[in-house]
Amino acid sequence: MMRTFTRGLSLALALALPLSLTAPAARAQDANPVSPGLNEAALPGVMEKAVTGFIRPGYAALTASTQALGTATQTLCASPSKDNLNAARKAFNDVVAKWSRVEILRVGPALEENRFERFLFFPDRKGLALKQLQAILSTKDKTALTAEGLKGKSVAIQGLGPLEYLLYGTGNETLATGDDFRCRYAMAIAANLGSIASEFEAAWKAPGGIGDAWMKPGANNPVFRTPQEAAGALLGVLVHGAETVQDQRIRVFFGGGATPISAEPNATGKDPIRDKPKSAPYWRSANTFPSIADNLQGLSDLFAISDMATLLPEGDASIAGSIAFVFRSATTAARAINAPVDAALADPDLRGKITFLELNTNDLVDRLNHDFGGAIGLGAGFSFADGD
């Protein structure tokens, strides 16, 4: 399966970046355009490192964390207490962290059997998950108390979103005193997450499967027949990952500007874009900015571990250096926002860091797509498709 993504880049935002970001990573090709040239000899090694050094270890870590979450929820249900509830929350937070590093991989197994949406249904613009979850709790729907039962239900109530509500949302305190139904539902979700994580891990390890297809592009490969296709898919993961952080992780809740916008309509008579803190990912558990930081860390690790710099033509190594610099800047900015999303939006200093983070992610998309993609011959007009 191949999908094509649009890439709306904002030159105005890129030009508005602080000099501290742009100066160390000046674009040599802006003054001296380079001739496109993918280093095809380096590609097999890059693809192998991506699979064996990042993708497989990342899913293995996710599987281990979901198993720990399953154990923690079982303990909570067997012995309800505040300490065991906190332990289950800690295990949940770890799963969010591990997932955030690999959720950038919207390819292959993630696109099959609704695995991605079953693990995390987001953004949920219509609030489907909350409505369906509350219905399950109010009716005490017993078919939601097993992983197998959940698998046949809406993707909106199977994954991290509803589990966050159970552990942190309205009524969560009952878990510490013995809410059997709520706890068993949480335990079922944890088991479901564990099952999905194991499927991810197994699919990437399977002989002759997606892992081998990524590592061995060629004429007889049903996924990548040419080096350009393989390079495009790997770079596409990075481009689309950075776009997702920008559009679906930050802009879903951040209205922009130095201060929150008032409730008054603007001069045009239309409502301005306002902050929507409750539209942020993981706002109940205060995992919004840690998860964004882990998204960016995952992208940065994939870029570095796979040694993508070796795909560049000679003389263009500075492009990789500039990308690595912006990755560090963006990740550092996200980790510096150490507050729940509503508090961060109301704090002028933290709000400035959110603005800086948004600008950095925009810059990342531009540098990955325009600079890196252009240098290896995958510039404007090339379809960065993520195939399975």
Residue ranges of the alpha helices (H) in the chain? Answer: 11-15, 19-22, 28-31, 43-49, 56-78, 82-102, 115-119, 128-139, 147-151, 160-168, 180-205, 210-215, 227-244, 288-305, 317-336, 341-346, 348-366, 373-375
pLDDT of residue 338 exceeding 60, the answer is: yes
Do the domain assignments include residue 304? yes
Q: Do 283 and 243 have their domain in common? A: yes
Which tokens go with 322?
């500039």
Cβ partners under 8 Å of residue 303, min gap 6: 238, 320, 323, 324, 327
> What pLDDT score was predicted for residue 259?
73
Q: Do 289 and 333 have their domain in common? A: yes
Question: What's the CATH number where 105 sits?
Answer: 1.20.1420.20
Do the domain assignments include residue 22? yes
Q: What percent of the chain has pLDDT over 70?
A: 85
Amino acid identity of residue 275, one-letter, is D
Number of domains in the chain: 2
Residues 236-270: tens digit of each pLDDT: 999 999 999 999 999 999 998 767 764 445 454 45
Which tokens go with 111?
């696109």
Do the domain assignments include residue 1? no
Whether the model pTM is above 0.75? yes
Q: Do 240 and 347 have their domain in common? A: yes
String of b and e for 335-345 (b: at least 16 CB within 10 Å)?
A: bebeebbbebb
User: Mapping DSSP to helix (H, G, I), strand (E, B) and coil, where does residue 376 land?
Assistant: coil
Rounded CA-CA distance 24/207 in Å is 44
**What are the φ and ψ backbone dihedral angles of 43, each rounded to 5 degrees?**
-60, -50
Residue 156 DSSP code: G
| pLDDT bucket at 273, cuts 50 / 70 / 90 | low
Amino acid identity of residue 147, one-letter, is A
> What pLDDT score was predicted for residue 261?
62
Amino acid identity of residue 93, one-letter, is N
Residues 117-135: tens digit of each pLDDT: 999 999 998 888 999 999 9
Rounded CA-CA distance 159/150 in Å is 9
| pLDDT bucket at 355, cuts 50 / 70 / 90 | very high
Contacts for 75-84 with beta carbons within 8 Å, 24 or more apart? Answer: 76/175, 76/183, 76/186, 76/187, 77/180, 77/183, 77/184, 77/186, 77/187, 80/175, 80/176, 80/177, 80/178, 80/179, 80/183, 81/176, 82/176, 84/176
Q: Is the peptide bond before 123 cis (omega within 30 degrees of 0)?
A: yes
- What average pLDDT does range 305-317 have in this prediction? 95
Q: Do 146 and 118 have their domain in common? A: yes
Rounded CA-CA distance 179/85 in Å is 12
> What pLDDT score was predicted for residue 54?
98
The residue out of 210, 237, 267 marking a domain boundary is: 210
Mean pLDDT, all residues of the chain:
87
> What pLDDT score was predicted for residue 34?
39
Residues 196-216: tens digit of each pLDDT: 999 999 999 999 999 999 999
pLDDT of residue 339 exceeding 60, the answer is: yes
Q: Residues 388, 107: contact at Cβ < 8 Å?
A: yes
Domain that holds residue 113: 48-210
| End-to-end Cα separation, the chain, in angstroms | 5
Q: At what angle do helices 56-78 and 180-205 cross, to 10 degrees?
A: 160
Q: Do 58 and 179 have their domain in common? A: yes
> What pLDDT score was predicted for residue 384?
53
Amino acid identity of residue 302, one-letter, is L
- What average pLDDT does range 291-299 have in this prediction? 98
Q: Which of 106, 69, 43 is nearest to 386 (CA)?
A: 106
| pLDDT bucket at 388, cuts 50 / 70 / 90 | very low
Do the domain assignments include residue 2? no
Q: Do 201 and 286 have their domain in common? A: no
Q: Do 34 and 126 have their domain in common? A: no
Residues 27-54: tens digit of each pLDDT: 434 433 434 589 999 999 999 999 999 9
Q: Which of 354, 303, 233 is nearest to 49 (CA)?
A: 303
Q: Do 283 and 161 have their domain in common? A: no
pLDDT of residue 6 exceeding 60, the answer is: no
Rounded CA-CA distance 100/270 in Å is 36
Q: Do 18 and 95 have their domain in common? A: no
Do the domain assignments include residue 162? yes
Residue 114 DSSP code: T
Do the domain assignments include residue 271? no
> What pLDDT score was predicted for residue 37?
87
Rounded CA-CA distance 150/146 in Å is 6
| pLDDT bucket at 283, cuts 50 / 70 / 90 | very high
> What pLDDT score was predicted for residue 257?
76
Q: Do 246 and 346 have their domain in common? A: yes
Do the domain assignments include residue 89? yes
Residues 74-100: tens digit of each pLDDT: 999 999 999 999 999 999 999 999 999
Which tokens go with 213?
């297809």
Q: Do 115 and 244 have their domain in common? A: no
Q: Do 170 and 101 have their domain in common? A: yes
> What pLDDT score was predicted for residue 113?
95
Rounded CA-CA distance 265/254 in Å is 17
> What pLDDT score was predicted for residue 5?
31
> What pLDDT score was predicted for residue 36?
53
Do the domain assignments include residue 368? yes
Distances, alpha carbon 334 to alpha carbons 100, 339, 340, 363, in Å: 13, 11, 12, 15
